[in-house]
Every structure is written in structure tokens, then in C-alpha cells.
A = this chain, B = another copy of it.
Amino acid sequence: MSRIERMCVERGLKMTGQRRLIARVLSESEDHPDVEELYRRAVALDARVSVATVYRTVRLLEEKGILERRDFGGGRARYDPADRGHHHHLIDVDTGNVIEFADAEHDTVARAIATRLGFELVQMRLEIFGRRLPAPPPATPARARRRT
């Protein structure tokens, strides 16, 4: 039984073949797939699924707190299993690649800000959009260069 399927069962969801399939695909994914991609991966394993079901399922899993919906630009929602733990994202603006990272300091500061403004922190979202740096300076190429 896949990791995500187990979470579904724990929450008392009725498990159909397609939900099991989608749960499996999610469990085996290490990236942040969108619905179309999930559908593609699912169909490859068992053609008896429809996109509509994928949409319905991710929505359900989001409501149950099993998935988190993300928006990294590009117009489609992308999904992130909640059990990966709290983390943030760095998106490569050129390639669209997403790197996950955790940062306790940000979390602490965010909570403090919420409190200061009279709110209880429910969730926070930190996304950094960046461009890959040229590659670390070639050690010492005859002469060290200074930053421009």
C-alpha cells in the first residue's frame, strides 16, 4: 500500500481503484506535478482513469490535508504531498525547475510578524525565484577576479 494511500485510509476515504492509482503515482513522485502530468503518469500504469477523476481526487486530497496546492507560475496548479514536511521553494526562472529547502528562521520570523499584526499564523508560503549563477569562480585562474 502506497504512502499516500495509507493517509487516505487513515482519513476514512473510500478507496477505489483510481484513487489507489493516483495515490500511488503521488507517492512515487518526487517533484511537483500538475494535474495533466499526474494524469499522464497514472494512465501509463492503468488506462482506466479520466482527467476529471484526477481533478476530483487532488481536490479531495487537498481538503483532507494530504496534498498542498502550489502555484509556481505557468497557469496550472501543482501538487505537493504535505507529508514531505514544511519547506519552501526556489524556482529557476529559466528552466522552471523547483528546489525545495527548509528554513527555520523564516518560519519563526513569519510567526512573529503575524502576531505583531494581530493574527494567528495559519500557513506561510515563501518562494524564491532565481537565476542559476554562472558556476563558482574557477578557483584561481591566473588572477583572482573581484565581484563586479
Interface residue ranges, A against B (CB under 8 Å)? 71, 90, 92-93, 99, 101, 103, 105-106, 109-110, 113-133, 136, 148
Contacts and interface: CB of A to CB of B under 8 A. Distances in A.
24 contacts: A90-B113, A90-B114, A90-B117, A90-B119, A92-B119, A93-B123, A99-B117, A101-B117, A103-B113, A106-B106, A110-B126, A110-B128, A114-B130, A115-B148, A116-B148, A118-B136, A119-B128, A119-B130, A120-B130, A121-B130, A125-B125, A125-B126, A125-B129, A126-B126
B116 A128 contact: no
Given A114-B128, A114-B130, A126-B127, 19 more contacts: A90-B114, A90-B117, A93-B122, A101-B113, A105-B109, A106-B110, A106-B126, A110-B126, A115-B133, A115-B148, A116-B148, A118-B132, A118-B133, A118-B136, A119-B133, A120-B132, A123-B128, A124-B127, A125-B126
Q: Which 10 A-B pairs have the closest CB atoms?
A: A119-B130, A123-B129, A125-B127, A114-B130, A122-B129, A124-B128, A120-B131, A126-B126, A71-B71, A121-B130
B113 A122 contact: no
B128 A113 contact: yes
